[in-house]
Amino acid sequence: MSTIPKPTRIRSKKTIQECRKDYCEHCGRKASGEPHHVRPRSLGGSDIRENLIQLCFDCHRAAHDGKILYPVFVAIVARREKLTIEEVCTRIGWPVPEEMKVEIPGSSTYTLDELIQLYISLQENEDDNRWSKGAVCLAITEGMGVSVRRTASWLGCSAAQVRELRKTFKVFPDETKRIPSLYWRHHRIAANTDEPEKWLTLAADNDWSTRQMQEKVDIARGKIAKKDLQLEKAEKAYRLAEEVILEGGEPADWLIEKLAEIL
């Protein structure tokens, strides 16, 4: 029986550490911190050598700003790993760069790699905008002494949003205190704990989604019992499994086979 293919992102702290260098593989200048993921983790990128490249701060920022596109890094990684560009792209799960361009209605024409980078930039800008909004909310409410409610009315949002944005920015005011691989919401959840840096590190080390992180925080606070949470997940899993099995077909056969393996 054929199995249903399911893409799985590889997580490996060991590989990340092995790929760390004290110089930028793009410009040669001094570099520090963790390697850059050519295909971002947020878009399914794995912790494999072919997807990791050490960058300095400026090159890292240029990559996130869309000023250096992924084909440039793929070419560097290919030379380093003694692979072809096609092999590197296959292993990271992204298309081989090509010159064909298409037009976005009302915009301009783009190559495939430019479109992918555009999407990445838009996604990252969403989080960047939240940090900027948080700085504005903090400046108005605490810097100018305007009430949260009045600020919210001026900005066209709720008072709760103003408090949320302000608090998150206040806890993580500069980029050095943030973890780039995590979303703004991870930082927001951490900001609402007594140990924000600890929870942020745990989320990064364990690759928690925002939902998983919130669950861990709620359990630690005693807000929900782990047993109750597991029971809720079990009931949901049962309902989904029952639905698939009753529908029949290859998905049902695959699920039954996997459940048998676990049991």
pTM of the full predicted structure? 0.57
Confidence at residue 99, expressed as pLDDT on a 0 to 100 scale: 64
Supply the pLDDT for residue 189: 96
- pLDDT of 95 reads 84
Q: Are 66 and 121 in contact (CB under 8 A)?
A: yes
217 and 235 in a single domain? The answer is no
**Do 142 and 217 reside in the same domain of the chain?**
yes
Q: How many CB atoms lie within 10 A of CB 214?
A: 19
As beta bridge partners, residue 50 has none
The pLDDT profile of the chain, 263 residues, written as one tens digit per residue, is 334 444 466 778 889 999 999 999 999 999 988 899 998 887 788 899 999 999 998 998 888 777 888 889 999 999 999 999 999 999 998 888 776 666 667 767 777 777 887 787 777 778 888 999 999 999 999 999 999 999 998 888 899 999 999 999 999 998 888 887 788 999 999 999 999 999 999 998 888 889 889 989 998 888 777 777 677 778 888 888 888 888 888 888 888 888 888 88
Q: Does residue 120 lie in a domain region?
A: no
Does residue 203 fall inside a structural domain?
Answer: yes
Distance, in Å, from the CA atom of 50 to the CA atom of 35, rounded to the nearest integer, reads 11
**pLDDT for 52:** 95
- 200 and 131 part of one domain: yes
Cα dihedral sign, 142-171-58-69 = negative
Q: 37 - beta bridge partners?
A: 52
DSSP letter at 109 equals E
Is 77 in the same domain as 147?
A: no
Is 116 a domain residue?
no
The CA distance from 70 to 97, in Å, is 9
Number of domains in the chain: 3
Domain range enclosing 37: 13-97
